């Protein structure tokens, strides 16, 4: 059962890593909004972490990389850094988890080291989930807040892009991966505790009923001397 859980965790971890890479590269974090009575929009605009793309009617889409990081809004600047950290954490988590599986020869047959390695991989997957969820929720909150803000011009209002939805799904996958790994670690720890407790309970079972497992203390010579007097 544990081996199947480890394989499932590795598969989900690989999907989470691919998802974080896709989110970081996708330009559809914020898209142009359909506002007012204009049903036909002549221009469609996408804003991502690295570039923005626009397409006019009957014209192929064109993309341009940002000239400077400072022209981005604060939430997109933070999202760029956090998503890069998330990719690194997901890659390290996948490697560490692979080293802690049963079939790995990284630490030989040392089950205790494998269990600790597995727990570290689960914690790193949890951190990767947080570093993915925070920028996605931050950008989504800013988009929704500006959309309903009457002081923001209609031309500057945006809608939620598909990258945000992929980000939420990827965060869920990373969270499930961390839960599976930590559950496998807890199950391994409980089996170790039972294995350590079994010899002790067996030794206690050999003691006759009504007797004590502790030896009686022999009276000291000083006590014997006072008793003689």
Instruction: Decide the pairing of beta strands 30-32 and 158-160.
Output: antiparallel
pLDDT single digits (tens) 41-87: 567 788 999 998 887 766 778 888 988 888 888 999 999 999 999 99
SS3 32: strand
Q: Residue 154 pLDDT more than 60?
A: yes
Identify the helix (H) or strand (E) that includes residue 62: strand 62-65
Question: Domains in the chain and their CATH numbers?
Answer: 2-28+73-191 (1.20.140.150)
Identify the helix (H) or strand (E) that includes residue 158: strand 158-160
More confident residue, 10 or 228: 10
Among 13, 2, 21, 18, residue whose Cα is nearest residue 123 = 13
pLDDT single digits (tens) 79-120: 999 999 999 999 999 998 888 777 767 666 677 787 888 889
**In whole angstroms, what is the distance from residue 128 CA to residue 86 CA?**
5
- At what angle are helices 162-205 and 74-99 packed, to 10 degrees? 40
Buried b (16+ CB within 10 A) or exposed e, 36-48: eeeeeeeeebbbb
Degrees to nearest 5, angle at CA 126 with 132 and 90: 65
pTM of the model: 0.76
| pLDDT at residue 153, rounded to an integer | 81
């Amino acid at each position: 059962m544990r081996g199947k859980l480890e394989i499932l965790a590795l598969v989900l971890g690989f999907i989470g890593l691919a998802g974080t890479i896709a989110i970081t590269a996708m330009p559809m974090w914020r898209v142009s909004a359909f506002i007012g009575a204009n049903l036909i929009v002549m221009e469609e605009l996408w804003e991502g972490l690295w570039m923005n793309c626009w397409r006019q009617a009957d014209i192929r889409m064109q993309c341009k990389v940002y000239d400077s990081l400072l022209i981005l809004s604060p939430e997109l600047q933070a999202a760029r850094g956090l998503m890069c950290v998330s990719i690194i954490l997901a890659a390290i988590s996948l490697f560490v988890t692979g080293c802690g599986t049963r079939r790995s020869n990284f630490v030989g047959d040392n089950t205790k080291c494998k269990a600790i390695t597995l727990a570290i991989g689960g914690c790193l997957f949890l951190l990767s989930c947080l570093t993915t969820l925070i920028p996605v929720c931050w950008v989504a909150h800013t988009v929704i807040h500006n959309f309903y803000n009457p002081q923001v011009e209609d031309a500057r209002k945006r809608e939620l892009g598909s990258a945000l939805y992929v980000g939420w799904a990827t965060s869920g996958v990373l969270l499930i991966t961390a839960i599976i790994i930590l559950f496998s670690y807890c199950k391994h720890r409980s089996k170790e505790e039972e294995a350590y407790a079994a010899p002790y309970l067996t030794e206690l079972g050999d003691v006759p009923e009504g007797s004590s497992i502790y030896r009686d203390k022999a009276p000291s010579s000083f006590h014997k001397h006072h008793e003689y007097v």
